[in-house]
Structure 1
């Protein structure tokens, strides 16, 4: 499946959330990651993030797609992140 992850978390947790998410997805922009991920890796990512975030304060949103066949991606301005920055 293809996943877009968007997060807004407290300053103390930003680095931990980013490092955890980058184990599974590509960083594309501040607080945004995306990529193809297996169902089991997606479940593991959610478990790892649940341990980091404060559910009373932080927000993590997952957009999931079965395929990117009917989608387009257009960038205006500076290209940030991408597959070449995968850890």
Structure 2
């Protein structure tokens, strides 16, 4: 499956969330990671993040796509992070 992860966390947790996310996905730009991932690895990622974030103050959103067949990536401005084939 293909996943886009976006997060909005308190400043003191930003680096920790990014470090966890980069173990599983590719950094794209500030607070956004994406990539192919298995269901098992996605569950591990979520588990690690739950131990790191404050569920009362922070937000992590996963957009999960079963296929990227009908996807297209378009960039306006500077391309940051890893180069990928999607969004």
- TM-score computed with the length of structure 1 as normaliser: 0.94
Structure 2 residues without counterparts, runs of 5 or longer: none
Q: How does 1:3-82 map to 2 (within 5 A)?
A: 3-82=3-82
1:44-68 Cα distance to aligned partner (Å, 9 max, x none): 0000000000000000000000010
- TM-score computed with the length of structure 2 as normaliser: 0.94
Structure 1 residues without counterparts, runs of 5 or longer: none
Q: Which has the higher contact order (CA 8 A, sep 6+)?
A: 1
Distance 1:28 1:47 in 2: 22
Dislocated runs of 4+, deviation >2 Å: none
Length, aligned pairs only: 84
